[in-house]
A = this chain, B = another copy of it.
Amino acid sequence: MPNSPDFKAWASERQERVEGVLDRLLPPEQLSPAQLHQAMRYAVLGGGKRVRPLLAFAAGEIAGAEAAAVEPVAAAVEFIHAYSLVHDDLPCMDNDSLRRGRPTCHVAFDEATALLVGDALQSLAFQVLCEQEDVEPGRRVEMVSILARAVGSRGMAGGQALDLASTGQELSLPELENMHIHKTGELIRAAVLLGARVSGMLAETSAARLDHAAKCAGLAFQVVDDVLDAESDTQTLGKTAGKDARQDKPTYVSVLGPVQAKRFAVELRDEAWRALEMFDDKALRMRQLIDFIVLRRS
């Protein structure tokens, strides 16, 4: 269960680990250009549940990788996630002023700096992935390719474009799923695939099962996000609540209603769990984490 002391201890240890790695990999804030580096650190450090890094660690456990070996991957996906939040919050996108309980990057600094923060964090993610000294080059190349495809125009950035185009539109369930799979799902999937790829120990069938679980988890994450946006409050979320309805964006809540949306998230959790059965105990953390994603309150 996600509330078990055992899972909490596991997650805390990994979260601390990833805070340390992010801190080490980000340029120090005294280094020129100092304001850009301060803003990069502001956008990445001190907040966030680090769900994507946790997924990478849990996938690493399935594939038999040590936590230390997964650290660069965990950092790379979090840099990408942070970049996407900074750009999504910009006035020309969601125009949001609150994130992780603090002013968004462009409010704390300025728009131009926030734009560059996102740009530089994306580069840093690829730098970190390709400079993993303990991973053989052939595998590093695969990892860069996985991440680049997951975040490009056919992945996360494409999902954002679909999201923009959907404002004020009615979407069918398949269209909504397609948007969410790209916007949120592709990076979550990449976090899992990359975490498992560090060790290179998964057979093809196992990798396919894990990927299926990751897809379900990614979609579940966004379904729950839609529910929380509709039902929670700004204080609890640390970001502006009720935004989807105000911006007239189609969501799982607007399409399915809140009850069905929650049921769908649980179904996705169950489907992910079934895909993980073959991994037995090695998938303990991944199962708990997916449970956490579905049951979280913020």
Residues of A at the B interface (CB closer than 8 Å) are 27, 31-33, 35-37, 40, 83, 87, 90, 92-93, 110-113, 115-116, 118-120, 122-124, 126-127, 129-131, 136-138, 140-141, 144-145, 147-149, 151-155, 157-158, 160-162, 164-165
Partner of A158, one of B36, B140, B145: B36
How near does chain B come to A171, taking the closest CB pair, in angstroms? 13
Known: A87-B115, A93-B112, A165-B35. A126 touches B144 (CB 8 A): yes
Q: How far is the CA of A235 from the CA of B165 in the complex (A)?
A: 35
Known: A122-B123, A123-B157, A149-B127. A90 touches B116 (CB 8 A): no
How near does chain B come to A188, taking the closest CB pair, in angstroms? 16
Q: How far is the CA of A28 from the CA of B117 in the complex (A)?
A: 29
Q: Are B119 and A87 in contact (CB under 8 A)?
A: yes
Q: Are A126 and B124 in contact (CB under 8 A)?
A: no
Q: Which residue of chain B has the shortest Cβ distance to A129 in the bound complex?
A: B144
Ordered by A's residue number, 28 sampled pairs between the chains whose C-beta atoms are within 8 Å are A27-B153, A27-B154, A32-B158, A40-B153, A87-B115, A87-B119, A90-B92, A92-B112, A93-B112, A93-B115, A113-B164, A116-B161, A119-B122, A120-B158, A123-B149, A123-B153, A123-B157, A124-B152, A124-B153, A126-B147, A127-B144, A129-B144, A130-B130, A130-B144, A130-B148, A131-B141, A131-B145, A137-B141
Partner of A140, one of B37, B120, B137, B154: B137
How near does chain B come to A194, taking the closest CB pair, in angstroms? 13
Q: Are A127 and B145 in contact (CB under 8 A)?
A: yes
Residues of B within 8 A of A116 (CB): 153, 157, 160-161, 164
Q: Are A120 and B35 in contact (CB under 8 A)?
A: no
Residues of B within 8 A of A152 (CB): 120, 123-124, 127
Q: Are B113 and A157 in contact (CB under 8 A)?
A: no
How near does chain B come to A146, taking the closest CB pair, in angstroms? 10
Q: Which residue of chain B has the shortest Cβ distance to A110 in the bound complex?
A: B92
How near does chain B come to A17, taking the closest CB pair, in angstroms? 23
Q: Are B161 and A36 in contact (CB under 8 A)?
A: yes
How near does chain B come to A82, taking the closest CB pair, in angstroms? 13
Q: Are A92 and B120 in contact (CB under 8 A)?
A: no
Residues of B within 8 A of A32 (CB): 158, 162
Residues of B within 8 A of A115 (CB): 87, 90, 92-93, 115
Q: How far is the CA of A131 from the CA of B138 in the complex (A)?
A: 11
Known: A144-B126, A148-B127. A92 touches B111 (CB 8 A): yes
Q: Which residue of chain B has the shortest Cβ distance to A127 in the bound complex?
A: B148
Known: A27-B153, A130-B148, A138-B137. A35 touches B92 (CB 8 A): no
Q: Which residue of chain B has the shortest Cβ distance to A155 in the bound complex?
A: B123
